[in-house]
Amino acid sequence: MPPSTLGTLANSLNAGTLGVSITRRNSGGASGLAFDKVVTTGGARLVYDNTYTRGVGLSARHTAGPGGNSYYEWNRALGSPSVWYGRVYVRLAGLPSGDIRLVRAQGGEDLELVIEVTRGGTVRVRDSANRIIATSIQPIELGAWVRLEWKVDHATGQIEVRVFNSPNLTTPSETLVTAAGQSIGSRPDRVQIGRSGSQSFSSDFWTDDPSLSITGFVGPAE
């Protein structure tokens, strides 16, 4: 696949219908660029919700039991960039029972990297062999929207994750930067946001305003 020309992909989720399951077909329109794929397995749910929203409109509620997946994905729209950026807002009511794989990038079916929120509330990065390569010092805020932004440079093998413990901050609460030369693949062709990896615990959390870009850090949503 050729390098990406995506510019910036973004979806506000706000044009969905309250209580309806998010699908590829209903995720576009006024919300922004439709997801290429939406996955729920093992009885999991992924629905438009207004219990908590980053501003006005709707968010995505991810509810999954043991072994269940609940995520949305961009693949064809992503292309295959060697350097790319991302953003998502996440809200957890309490500490998760396990480590939630919130962002997963793959090349083909091969894992390239993971950004997760741990059972202790910290943010952690894993490489293609599932090895931990960076962990935040501070836990994220619970019961509030937190903005996560990241840069992945496959050429240098380095990842930077910025944690904003208030949704509209312009200065990160904490920044994680891995050493260069990490094993994170050469180019992704899909990025999944939500809960992936068939994890062995139940979880219930919200995401909002996901975005991917090749032009730079995305910043806060309007």
Q: How many structural domains comprise the chain? A: 1
In a domain, residue 3? The reply is no
Domain carrying residue 120 = 8-213
Taking the alpha carbons of 205, 211, 213, 217 in that order, is the dihedral positive or negative? negative
pLDDT exceeds 80 at position 7: no
pLDDT value at residue 56: 85
In a domain, residue 94? The reply is yes
Task: Give the CATH number for residue 80.
Answer: 2.60.120.200
| Average pLDDT for 113-122 | 98
In a domain, residue 165? The reply is yes
**pTM strictly above 0.75:** yes
Contacts 24+ apart (CB under 8 A), 46-50: 46/21, 46/22, 46/70, 46/71, 46/72, 46/194, 47/19, 47/20, 47/21, 47/22, 48/13, 48/16, 48/17, 48/18, 48/19, 48/20, 48/22, 49/18, 49/19, 49/206, 50/18
In a domain, residue 222? The reply is no
Per-state percent for the chain, helix, strand, coil, to nearest 5 = 0, 45, 55
In a domain, residue 75? The reply is yes
pLDDT exceeds 50 at position 182: yes
